[in-house]
Amino acid sequence: MAAKWLETITGSLEQKREYNRYRARLDALPEPYGTVAKALHRYFMYSAGTPEGDVALTMMGDLTDLWERAAADGTPVRDIVGADPVEFADTFVQAYLGKRWIDKERARLTDVIERAERGEST
């Protein structure tokens, strides 16, 4: 009973445990993979507008799997992130976010500009 009440306030305890397991796996990565994976994780937390818990865990799991595989294969970091790590990170996270509120505003902005070019009032 107490666990249910606690989860109502703090969120799923199992999801927190799973997240901690992923963090431990990131911490165990050899260099430079661990540094890069943790930097991407941090970027996601600040920029992604963190999705629902289960989606965030899927993203975290895929990130962890990607860097574990790269480390095992000896794949150079730049072969994964390319010349623009921010573009890589933004593209990676987009696969998990789906539709966002800003998408509606982007479409609205584009529509207003196109209508203005045609001389239509808004």
Domain count, the chain: 1
Whether the full predicted model's pTM is greater than 0.85, yes or no, is no
Q: Burial level of 75, CB count in 10 A (0-12/13-18/19+)?
A: middle
Per-residue pLDDT of the chain (122 residues; tens, 9 = 90+): 565 655 555 567 888 899 899 999 999 999 999 999 999 999 988 876 655 778 888 999 999 999 999 999 999 999 999 999 999 998 998 888 776 777 788 889 999 999 999 888 76
Residues 68, 104: Cα–Cα separation, whole Å: 36
Residue 122 lies in a domain: no
Domain housing 66: 2-117
CATH number for position 33: 1.10.1900.10
Find all residues with CB under 8 Å of 9, minimum gap 6, and list them: none
Reported residue count of the chain is 122
